[in-house]
Amino acid sequence: MLGLNLLSSAQESSEKLFQVRGFCIGAPKPTGVERFVKFINEELAPRKVNTLVLLVGYNYQYKSYPQLRDSGALSKKDVKKIVEAIHLAQSRVNLIITNGGLGPTSDDLTLKGVAKAYKRNLIFHPEILKKIEERFKARGIEMPKINQNQALLPQGAKALDNQLGSAPGILIEEDKKFFIALPGVPHEMKAMLENEVIFFLKTKVGKTKIY
């Protein structure tokens, strides 16, 4: 699982708004969560690092596949702290993009985490379910009931079309700030960045170049 946050300072000019200064780091162990949050707030932000790639991998206490856990992996409580840190970051940034965790299983926590962070209920969308069912039908497969969870969105959110998979992306606009969540499957994420996200950003930044 790979988490990506694209953060841009509200104080920067539009010409610099979406230029990327990135940092890639492995997710912390439970004993290092507090230091990790402090590191982001006190070390990365002052240096205007606006892109954080967080590598999770097996460092989470998966319920569906406990055999995948590392020893001393992150708990649900630990993840909650990171989600809260992301929510706090929203007050200082214009844009946050995350990827991964939009699947239908119990270890896919992004949807619930986003809904909780934004204090919104999850709303069922039958038109999204219809698209998911049609995708499975086209492959000659009956859709598992658990995939109905992928038709849920936080209240007021917009679904981003996923032409290559079952999980739609999520777009939330609040107080002129934007949150986008994309699937973690690499080819799905790449296609949605090119076909959905970049197009959306261009409508917001006009002639500003997006790299």
**pLDDT-based confidence at residue 157 (cuts at 50, 70, 90):** very high
Query: Phi, psi (5° rounding) for residue 44?
Result: -75, -45
R_g over Cα of the chain: 17
Give the Cα separation of 11 and 35 in Å (integer): 26
Q: Which residues does residue 159 pair with via DSSP β-bridges, in sequence order?
A: 170
Give the Cα separation of 181 and 159 in Å (integer): 10
User: Would you tell me the crossing angle of helices 110-117 and 76-89 to the nearest 10 degrees?
Assistant: 50
Six-digit token string for 50: 């606006």
Q: What is the pLDDT of residue 152?
A: 95
Least trusted range by pLDDT, from 79-93, 112-126, 188-202:
79-93
Residues 89-100, mean pLDDT to the nearest whole number:
72
pLDDT in tens, 25-36: 777 888 888 888
Q: What is the pTM of this model?
A: 0.65
Listed in sequence order, the residues at least 6 apart from 114 whose beta carbon sits closer than 8 Å to its beta carbon are 83, 154, 170, 172, 179, 181
**pLDDT-based confidence at residue 172 (cuts at 50, 70, 90):** very high
Give the Cα separation of 149 and 126 in Å (integer): 11
**Res 8 pLDDT > 60:** no
pLDDT in tens, 114-144: 898 889 999 999 999 999 999 999 999 999 9
| Higher-pLDDT residue of 162, 14 | 162
**pLDDT-based confidence at residue 89 (cuts at 50, 70, 90):** low
Query: Phi, psi (5° rounding) for residue 160?
Result: -100, 125
Listed in sequence order, the residues at least 6 apart from 169 whose beta carbon sits closer than 8 Å to its beta carbon are 102, 159, 160, 161, 162, 180, 181, 182, 183, 192, 196, 197
90 DSSP assignment = G
Least trusted range by pLDDT, from 45-54, 147-156, 176-185:
45-54
Quick check: 50 and 7 in contact, CB under 8 A?
yes
Q: How is the chain split among helix, strand and coil, in percent rounded to 5?
A: 40, 20, 35
